[in-house]
Amino acid sequence: MASSGARCPKCGGQGRLIGENRFLCEQCGTEFYACPICGATFFSPQQLGGHMKYHKREREKSRDPVLDTLQEIVKRLDMLEERLDRIEKTLNSLAAMPRLETSQPTSEELPSFARDNPWLKILSRR
């Protein structure tokens, strides 16, 4: 039990749990409040409240770099995956397209004298 180990901030005596985060010193009778997270002790619940806000901020701050970065990475990976998908689809559709434009010029667009030239056939046979 972590809460039973709270020490009186006034005399250092053993605190007895009497409420939520609330203790009574068995040695000097002082009521005090202890943080359930780090065990820091305070004389008033207001002080503890302010201290707990600090912990909350700390938690949010410390959560950011790890979890949020991971979530950001996952999000970006999803986006990249989508983009890759689209690129793949584009490539596939390009590959499926008849390659009229790229392979034509060599044979079809030669001037007729060259196309019908028997020497060209002979020369290109090697």
Minimum distance, C-beta of residue 24 to Zn ion, in the bound complex (Å): 9
Query: Which residue of 7, 17, 31, 37 would you call a contact of Zn ion, by CB under 5 A?
Result: 37
Query: Is position 35 an interface residue for Zn ion (rule: CB under 5 A)?
Result: yes
* Sheet bearing 31-34, strands edge to edge: 15-19, 22-25, 31-34, 41-42
Query: Is position 45 an interface residue for Zn ion (rule: CB under 5 A)?
Result: no
Rounded distance between C-alpha atoms, residue 49 and residue 41, angstroms? 11
Query: Is position 6 an interface residue for Zn ion (rule: CB under 5 A)?
Result: no
What are phi and psi for residue 105, nearest 5 degrees? Answer: -50, -35
The continuous run of DSSP H or E covering 24 comes out as strand 22-25
Rounded distance between C-alpha atoms, residue 102 and residue 108, angstroms? 12
Stretch binding Zn ion (CB under 5 A), from 31-39, 65-73, 75-83, 102-110: 31-39
The first and second tokens of residue 99, run together, are 């390659």
Query: Which residue of 3, 13, 24, 47 would you call a contact of Zn ion, by CB under 5 A?
Result: 13
Query: Is position 27 an interface residue for Zn ion (rule: CB under 5 A)?
Result: yes
| Residues contributing to the site for Zn ion (CB under 5 A) | 8, 10-11, 13, 25, 27-28, 30, 35, 37-38, 40
